[in-house]
Amino acid sequence: MREIKPEDLALKPVNLWKNQWLLLTAGSMKDCNMMTVAWGSIGCMWNKPFVQIVVRPQRYTMEYIEKSECFTLCAFPEKYKQDLLRLGTLSGRNCYKLSETELTLKPSVSVLSPGYEEASLTLECRKMYGQEMDPSCFVTETGPGVYPEKDYHKIYFGEIMKAFGV
C-alpha cells in the first residue's frame, strides 16, 4: 500500500460506510479487538482530517476503544465481505474472532492499533474526542427509532494520522 496524505483522500464516503463497511480495531498487536462499522463520517474537524465513529456500549470493542489512545479503520476488497460480516456479528468476549476470517493483523506506522495485510484502505487514527449520544438532542424520529433498547452509541472523533491505500 502507498501512503496517501489525508487531505488527498479521494473517497465516496457514503458508499464506503453504507455499502463497503469498515473494520474498526483498537488495542495493540498483542491484544486488540475489532468490529465492523457501517455508520460514521470522514472530513475535517478543528482543522484536522478526522473520522467519526460510533460504538454501542455493549460491544466488546468499546472496552478497547475506551482504554486506547488510537484506533484504525480499514476497508477491504469485496471478497472479504463475509469476513466483515462475521467480525460484525461475533463477539470477541466469546472467541478470538479474527481466527474465523482470512484477515491478517499487521503493525501500523503511526499508532499502536494494528491494521490488516488485506486492507485496500487503512486510516491510522488518534482519538480526539468522545461523548455519549444524548437522546434529548434528536431532532427527527429517525434517531430514536434506531434505539428501541436505549443503547445509544458513544461518538468518537479520531484524527487521521496516516492513510494508506492501494
**Residue that is written with C-alpha cell 449520544 in the block:** 133
Prediction pTM value: 0.96
User: What is the reported pLDDT for 143?
Assistant: 87
Number of domains in the chain: 1
* CATH code of residue 40: 2.30.110.10
DSSP β-bridge partners for residue 105: 116
The rounded distance, in Å, linking the Cα atoms of 86 and 155 is 23
More confident residue, 142 or 13: 13
Q: Are 55 and 61 in contact (CB under 8 A)?
A: yes
pLDDT in tens, 27-77: 999 999 999 999 999 999 999 999 999 999 999 999 999 999 999 999 999
User: What is the reported pLDDT for 94?
Assistant: 87
pLDDT in tens, 67-121: 999 999 999 999 999 999 999 998 999 889 999 999 999 999 999 999 999 999 9
Question: Backbone phi, then psi, for 85, in 5-degree steps?
Answer: -60, -45
User: What is the reported pLDDT for 23?
Assistant: 98
The rounded distance, in Å, linking the Cα atoms of 114 and 64 is 13
Which residue segment(s) compose the domain that 31 sits in? 2-165
User: What is the reported pLDDT for 142?
Assistant: 86
